[in-house]
Structure 1
Amino acid sequence: MTTTSTTAPASGGGVRVRVQRFGTFLSGMIMPNIAAFIAWGIITALFIDKGWVGNDGPIEAWQWADSAILGGGVIGDTQYTGLVGPIINYLLPLLIAFTGGRMVHGHRGGVVGAVAAFGVIIGAEGTVMFLGAMIAGPLTALILKYVEKPWQGKIKPGFEMLVDNFSAGFVAFFASLAAFFWLAPVMKWLTDILGGAVGWLVETGLIPLASIIVEPAKVLFLNNAINHGVFTPLGTDQSAQTGKSLLFLIEANPGPGLGLLMAITVFGVGAARATAPGAAVIQFLGGIHEVYFPYVLAKPVLILGLIAGGATGVLTNVIFQSGLVAPAAPGSIFAVLFQTAPGSHLGVILSVILAAAVTFVVCMPFLLATRRRDLEAEAAGGDKLAAAIAQTEANKGKKSEHLSNLAARTGSTAGASAPAATAVATTPIQNIVFACDAGMGSSAMGASVLRNKLKKAGIEDVTVTNAAIANLDGTADLVITQQQLTDRAKGKSPNSFHVSVDNFMNAPQYEEVVEMVKSQKEQTE
């Protein structure tokens, strides 16, 4: 083995790349906290007035729990506070602010970000301050980072903790005051405008037109800015007031993707037709929507079917006044059904079915009209799907194990690179960390694969975990990332040994890592 495989990330510019990066940052604040949204959604679905238990629960204990969870009051001499309001107004925004601050400047950045966000929350009392938390958290952490920059490395030994704590404390103090007096009124005004605009679209029945923007944005990986920057905050606010929101299903509805892939399964040709059924399972049941993006890039006219299907799903929820209690992430049918509000199951299920059916019907004539041309192109050796997979990964800005597996099933090597040999680590490897943007999903699966390989090799005392790149603290002996992310990981953990892979699920470098660790163990015995 010779060198570590590294590939500098492609430099990107333009509006699309900037929006994509912004959306990725917003997603990085929301996605690690989805479990808290789910917990709040369960509490809301059970104990609001129209919930499964509601105020008229048949069991006295449930009635007491319902009252206690919904709001404050006094039972006997005991004062109690509800859960639904405090979680949505305080806990969730603070988690978002802390996560955003930590992404910018570590744990201390998260702390000062949470304090500043509290100023927004209190200053705009009665408004769900997700947008304010998304601004206050990262911005305050960034201020702390620059405030401390002049004296970094210049503090006399023994005084570092004192200086760090007081600098962070003063930044948090001034930031919370600024957020209370200045940012809170602005965010309340902005939230009222956005909420009023969305409410007007719902009341006038024009909200289905949002699919004209959302569906193309998904294919270009621009949807995170819309979904996490607008739909999730406003949807959560609506859910807190009414117990449900259709905004959670505008982007997450798995119906359009299913309809597209089923149309290709029936009327498609070649590799696209052969791979579409498997992609449909991953998309509909697993919630990984990106697997259908290459099919659209290979035949862009199919976006019309997605728009029609998405608008149909939204319109169905408008007609039935149905929605979810919390975000469905990932966009799997299981997550959608789990988050469906009480009394909304008929509308939500129909919105998925009708969205799939309309997409299927609209895509059918386009596929039939180009079938002969597609067959001729396939006979001539043309492979639009392989090129589209590579383009999809380029749009995403990093490798995707799901897209790589899709490319493998097409028999294509598009977007793949020859695996480079892995260098030999000079220090003992005890702690291996898989790192990606969010520290979830792909990195967790990669960690599981390597953990199993080490176990089969009889290596039990090596820790394999996964984390977001922003949370790397330099303590890892070995960091494994996808090629496009290696340089960022090196910046966060410069003293670690780094290995780059194309695909977290089946990278050949894993065998080399196992052999390297095994060799180290044998040398020390």
Structure 2
Amino acid sequence: MKNGLQKFGKFLSAMVMPNIGAFIAWGFITALFIADGWIPNAKLASIQPYMLTFLLPMLIAYTGGKQVGGDRGGVMGAIAVMGCIAGVGGFDGQPMLMGAMVMGPFAGWVIKKFDKAMDGHMPAGFEMLINNFSVGILGMIVAIIGYFIIGPFMSTVLAVLTAGVNVLVKAKLIPLAAIFIEPAKVLFLNNAINHGIFTPIGIEQAKEAGKSIMYMLEANPGPGLGVLLAYAVFSKDKVTKSSAPGAIIIHFFGGIHEIYFPYILMNPIVIIAPIVGNICAITFFTFTKCGLIGPSSPGSIIAYLSMSPKSQIPLTILGVLIATVVSFLIASPIIRMSDGKSLEDAQDDMAAKKAESKGITVDPGEKKDADKVKKIVFACDAGMGSSAMGATKFRNRVKAQRPDLTVINTSVDNIPADCDIAVVQAVLADRARKSAPQAQLVIINNFLQDPNLDGLYEQMTAKVDASAQTAAAVEEVETPVATGNAKILVEEGIKTGLKPVDKFEAIKAAGKLLNELGYVEEGYIDAMVKREETVTTYMGLGVAIPHGTGDAKKKVQKTGIVMLQYPEGVDFDGEKAQLVFGIAGIGDEHLGLLAKISEIIEDPERLEQLKTTKNVDEIMEMFK
């Protein structure tokens, strides 16, 4: 349930976050130039309703449509939301921010389904005509649906919500909203709540009163600041304690509230602190009749104060201070009496709970002292792709500080007996424990960018004896470099500029290409799908490496790698993969090329180039 809410929250946030700059522009125009603003100017203030009525909903709908259906989906979303806007009367109706969050993804889904149905059936020479007319005709139909159904429905929903909020305000019960605001924020629903619910209601209130308390409920940086201050002062874990001051700056001045969510998750009872802190602040704002002129986005103290009427800035500051002090006072004894759990430990627990929800028992094992660790093993199902890249990347990261450390990869059922730490995904943890009962387990979601890998790096380098770093007798693990890279990856095995598809379609396409090039038997494709159903092959950084299960190696005829480029990304369970590498390996022949891939993706410029270039020769040159 929680994971589903997190994915939903991330999806909604992904529609809003790219457009925060537009919200800021609209907010500043509102705060500066309306009649009660800082420097009233009627002409400049006239920009504001156009931005609110048309610009913001269109941007959100375009972004949501593009998330689902690529560029064509974005255009469809923008067309569709115009139907909603017209259906509620344009300037005379309610802003369609909520309508945009529905119509954008819906329109993107419609065109995605159309493109899928037409794939392989489009007459040669008619591609442009069909592509343009399909968006035009389907966009018109969806806009009509928005006009008659979605727009009026969302207007009704917003009217009901507004009426309910007004009742709570009059009954002095609005502070109780903090009971669901703070937990929902920790589940990454903060942008959905702020811009999907509170901002539209705040707009309606601000039309009458010139300000709204709704803008203050979610964006107040005080509750989160109190929690971070408590960790900075009282945390027993040195890493957590030292990280809190930096998080304070990012949260309070940068407005990135997500920075304090892991601190709540590592000790869930701490959530009481921001809830009570926000209740106290909202109560104060209610009795002093405070409100902001426009939405505070992001939720930094700078934006919060800039949206406050000049006469109420002292009261706004006092409300933030109240939330901070109350949150700090409640969080402090909880943190002092806690068992000193670290951020890394909390992330391990979360991964374990995720695995247990699937019927898997995870025991991470006793954390080992860095100076006693000599071998780290990255293990995946087949030991072919994911673990090889993860091991290469981590080896390169740690070798300067720990040249004595051996980092290898293998299949999860063949972890060697001298393994000190095994790095595995949660769904493979039980098998790893049986294979290496002596090892500490590090549970991750993906092999390239995972907080627990950062924690492992800190564990390995925090207490390293200087002699270990300068040891002359080092067992260096070389990644085999295949001299036949040109035969493993060939020009015919590279496809660029592909349209977004379902992840299983992308995996099947990679498998089909491996088969067509003679690398694998046809049955290997099903093994690739089975592998993905067991555990994701998404690596992080926009890269996925699908390959067959361990028992499918007999279907590999020769080592080969293919690359499918999806510039708009393929959805791998909430993560976008622009690069899908299909792998079939015999022995270690493919590891040299995997090492090269790992080297390239560590360079942001080369990685971006690989995700977007249409020049196959350029790609081949990168892998030479």
Calculate the TM-score normalised by the size of structure 2. Answer: 0.58
Q: 1:215: how far off?
A: 1.5
Check whether the contact 1:44–1:243 (CA below 8 A) recurs between aligned residues.
Answer: no
Check whether the contact 1:486–1:500 (CA below 8 A) recurs between aligned residues.
Answer: no
Query: Which secondary structure does the structure 1 equivalent of 2:311 belong to?
Result: coil
What is the CA–CA distance in structure 2 between the aligned matches of 1:145 and 1:413, rounded to whole Å? 47
What is the CA–CA distance in structure 1 between the aligned matches of 2:460 and 2:212, rounded to whole Å? 42
Matches within 5 A, 1:455-494: 474=565, 488-490=577-579
Q: Is 1:52 aligned to residue 38 of structure 2?
A: yes
Between 1:306-315 and 1:290-299, the stretch displaced more is 290-299
Partner of 2:236: 269
Check whether the contact 1:327–1:339 (CA below 8 A) recurs between aligned residues.
Answer: yes
Q: What residue identity is the alignment partner of 1:509?
A: E
Q: 1:427: how far off?
A: 8.8
Q: 1:483: how far off?
A: 10
Partner of 2:61: 97
What is the CA–CA distance in structure 2 between the aligned matches of 1:488 and 1:133, rounded to whole Å? 25
Partner of 1:387: 345
Partner of 1:18: 4
What is the CA–CA distance in structure 2 between the aligned matches of 1:480 and 1:168, rounded to whole Å? 20
Instruction: For residues 141-189 of structure 1, give each alpha carbon's deviation from its aligned partner in whole angstroms, at most 9, with x where no partner exists.
Output: 2122223432222222221111111121111122222221222221111
Residues paired across the two proteins, number: 427
Q: Is 1:332 aligned to residue 287 of structure 2?
A: no
Partner of 1:320: 288
Q: CA RMSD in A?
A: 4.6
Query: Which secondary structure does the structure 1 equivalent of 2:291 belong to?
Result: coil
Distance 1:335 1:508, change over 3 A: same
Q: What residue identity is the alignment partner of 1:36?
A: A
Instruction: For residues 417-454 of structure 1, give each alpha carbon's deviation from its aligned partner in whole angstroms, at most 9, with x where no partner exists.
Output: xx9989989699xxx99xxxxxxxxxxxxxxxxxxxxx
What is the CA–CA distance in structure 2 between the aligned matches of 1:288 and 1:420, rounded to whole Å? 41
Check whether the contact 1:483–1:500 (CA below 8 A) recurs between aligned residues.
Answer: no
What is the CA–CA distance in structure 2 between the aligned matches of 1:194 and 1:397, rounded to whole Å? 38
Q: What residue identity is the alignment partner of 2:17?
A: M
Structure with bigger gyration radius: 2
Partner of 2:226: 259
Q: Is 1:33 aligned to residue 19 of structure 2?
A: yes
Matches within 5 A, 1:127-146: 127-146=94-113
Partner of 1:300: 268
Q: 1:341: how far off?
A: 4.0
- Which 5+ residue runs of structure 1 have no aligned equivalent? 1-14, 55-65, 71-81, 434-466
Partner of 2:197: 230
Instruction: For residues 52-101 of structure 1, give each alpha carbon's deviation from its aligned partner in whole angstroms, at most 9, with x where no partner exists.
Output: 123xxxxxxxxxxx23344xxxxxxxxxxx32222111111111111111
Q: What residue identity is the alignment partner of 1:198?
A: V
Partner of 2:422: none
Q: What residue identity is the alignment partner of 2:53?
A: N
Whose RCO is larger (CA < 8 A, sep 6+)?
1
What is the CA–CA distance in structure 2 between the aligned matches of 1:400 and 1:254, rounded to whole Å? 32
Check whether the contact 2:570–2:577 (CA below 8 A) recurs between aligned residues.
Answer: no
Q: 1:523: how far off?
A: 11
Distance 1:99 1:325, change over 3 A: farther
What is the CA–CA distance in structure 2 between the aligned matches of 1:347 and 1:491, rounded to whole Å? 54
Check whether the contact 1:231–1:247 (CA below 8 A) recurs between aligned residues.
Answer: yes
Check whether the contact 2:542–2:577 (CA below 8 A) recurs between aligned residues.
Answer: no
Q: Is 1:153 aligned to residue 94 of structure 2?
A: no
Q: 1:359: how far off?
A: 0.8
What is the CA–CA distance in structure 2 between the aligned matches of 1:193 and 1:400, rounded to whole Å? 46
Query: Which secondary structure does the structure 1 equivalent of 2:264 belong to?
Result: helix
Query: Which secondary structure does the structure 1 equivalent of 2:172 belong to?
Result: coil
Matches within 5 A, 1:54-453: 54=40, 66-70=41-45, 82-125=46-89, 126-239=93-206, 241-271=208-238, 272-368=240-336, 370=337, 374=339, 383-391=341-349, 407=455, 411=459
Q: 1:509: how far off?
A: 3.3
Q: What residue identity is the alignment partner of 1:267?
A: F
Check whether the contact 1:216–1:303 (CA below 8 A) recurs between aligned residues.
Answer: yes
Check whether the contact 1:119–1:184 (CA below 8 A) recurs between aligned residues.
Answer: yes
Q: 1:239: how far off?
A: 4.1
Calculate the TM-score normalised by the size of structure 1. Answer: 0.68
Check whether the contact 2:542–2:579 (CA below 8 A) recurs between aligned residues.
Answer: no
Instruction: For residues 350-403 of structure 1, give each alpha carbon's deviation from its aligned partner in whole angstroms, at most 9, with x where no partner exists.
Output: 2211111001112233345x26xx4xxx6xxxx444211445689898899896
Check whether the contact 1:321–1:344 (CA below 8 A) recurs between aligned residues.
Answer: no
Distance 1:413 1:21, change over 3 A: farther
What is the CA–CA distance in structure 1 between the aligned matches of 2:259 and 2:460, rounded to whole Å? 15
Distance 1:173 1:519, change over 3 A: closer
Q: What residue identity is the alignment partner of 2:42?
A: S
Distance 1:24 1:522, change over 3 A: closer
Query: Which secondary structure does the structure 2 equivalent of 1:340 belong to?
Result: coil
- Which 5+ residue runs of structure 2 have no aligned equivalent? 355-443, 463-476, 498-540, 544-563, 584-592, 611-617
